[in-house]
Structure 1
Amino acid sequence: MQPFAPERFLSSYPSAFTNPRVVMPRYFIDYEDGSESLRDEEGTYYPNLHDARDAAIAALPDIGREPPPADGRRAFAAYVRDEAGTVLCTVTLNMAAECHSERQRTSA
């Protein structure tokens, strides 16, 4: 295994660290779970919109681990915004849990 070489790593990823003229955009990811919502007031710097979208996708399953309501259905959404507040990307996750009676399982 080669030792970590910061200069090689940094040269592969142009950023404000290696070039002060390159500025990563800041994105805000807001989350919604039915009546609950969480607005991102701080934002996070990502190299591009796809990386911000991927961060929103990665977070939704963790949010979905909360106990579901009695009907077993939940809908989650994440909205990726730019610094102007424009929604650039919407990510949704819909969950539904349905239980089947013992009689239905044995007749199938």
Structure 2
Amino acid sequence: MTIQNTIEQKLGQAFNSDFLAVENESHKHNVPANSETHFKVTLVSAAFDGQGRVKRHQAIYGLLAEELAGGVHALALHLFTPAEWAASGQASPESPNCLGGSKNDPAFAAGGSQ
């Protein structure tokens, strides 16, 4: 099972979602081909009613702790209640392209450490 499938399965089981999309965005970053390191999650659930952004993110981070401790480097989280999703036009923001990370850092390129 891929990491993406594992994330989808865990979120699908933990949340009664109106909408769930897990996108592997690793190809937009400075990683080897076929990596599973960067993901965008869009999740719409009534479970988020009455919760602020921090509590929502904490719930996802707790659920995906094993993946985050392993190979997952980044999660872009777009978490909505059904009402928020309807008001948003039912679209999550596009993720920006990677700016190259440390490969474009002059200190790193000169042999420095981060």
Q: TM-score normalised to the size of structure 2?
A: 0.30
Determine which structure has greater relative contact order: mean sequence separation of CA pairs < 8 Å that are 6+ residues apart, divided by chain length: 2
Q: Which has the larger radius of gyration?
A: 1
Structure number having the greater strand percentage: 1
